[in-house]
Amino acid sequence: MTQAVMDLDRRSGISPRRVPVAPNAVIGMLIFVVAEVMFFAALMSAFTITKISTLGPWPPPGQPRLPIEATAVNTGVLLASGIALFFARRQHALVPRKALRLLGASALLGATFVTVQGYEWVQLVREGLTLRSGPHGGFFYLIVGAHALHVLAGLMVLGLALRKLQRDELSPGYFAATRVFWYFVVLLWPIVYFRVYL
């Protein structure tokens, strides 16, 4: 998306200057995020209809309970990762090299989140909640798993940004696109948590 800025210098008659509204990487990432939002919205809608259609309590009797408290703490960890990235951006605007620690902290918190998720999954599978154990298990692993895959992808992007920053090669466009994706992953999770866990 570029804007043709008719910035004609009246005195010298210089040709029009085109100024991009946002870096191409950011525009591309925003379009991707819009598509991903629709993907998750479709999953959530299907889950909501299935949950309401089920006669009786949800989760169905005999199915393992989801670890609500531990996941609430884990939600805090992921939100903290987003906050660290927010401050990393502010620091990067002032002294780029000083954003290294905050960017690292953001990636570390994200990695902690996905590790705890993995541990929870192992526990739930041991308790008998699998993809084939019914709609509860099927939707749980599908929605939470899809989000976990996005977290892993986000961690890779954050890792690349970290590496680029260490080499002083991190461009503002790449960093902005990274933030767009990570904020999407972070802000999506509380919605998933409230819909699926509670």
Partner 1 sequence: MKPKALAVLSAVAVFCLPALALACPVCGAAQNDANQRAFVGSTIFLSLLPLAMMGGLAAWGLWRVRKQAEERKSEDVPRDSSVQLRLEPRP
Residues 55-74 interacting with partner 1 (rule: CB under 8 A): none
Alpha-carbon distance values, 65 to 24, 137, 142, 191 (Å): 44, 11, 17, 19
Distance, in Å, from the CA atom of 186 to the CA atom of 197, rounded to the nearest integer, reads 16
Q: Which lies closer to partner 1 via its Cβ, residue 122 or residue 187?
A: 187
Contact with partner 1 (CB under 8 A) among 49, 72, 131, 149: 49
Among 12, 13, 15, 53, binds partner 1 (CB under 8 A): 53
| Closest separation in Å from C-beta 18 to partner 1 | 12
Number of residues that bind partner 1 (CB under 8 A): 18
Q: Which is nearer to partner 1, 48 or 115 (CB)?
A: 48
**C-beta closer to partner 1: residue 6 or 94:** 6
* The token pair that represents 187 in the structure block: 């802000």
* Binding residue for partner 1, selected from 7, 73, 76, 194, defined by CB under 8 A: 7
- Shortest spacing between CB 172 and partner 1, in angstroms: 14
Q: How far is the CB of 45 from partner 1 (least distance, A)?
A: 4
Q: Which residues, numbered 13-42, are part of the site for partner 1 (CB under 8 A)?
A: 19, 21-22, 30, 34, 37-38, 41-42
Q: What helix, strand, coil percent values describe the chain, rounded to 5?
A: 75, 5, 20
Contacts 24+ apart (CB under 8 A), 116-121: 116/70, 116/74, 116/77, 117/74, 117/144, 117/148, 117/151, 118/148, 120/67, 120/70, 120/71, 120/74
Handedness of CA 152, 156, 159, 161 (dihedral sign): negative
Is 26 within 8 Å of 173 (Cβ atoms)? yes
Residues 79-98 that bind partner 1 (CB under 8 A): none
- Smallest separation (angstroms) from partner 1 to the CB of 22: 6
State which of positions 107-136 bind partner 1 (CB under 8 A). none
Q: Rule CB under 8 A: which residues touch partner 1?
A: 1, 3, 5, 7, 19, 21-22, 30, 34, 37-38, 41-42, 45, 48-49, 52-53
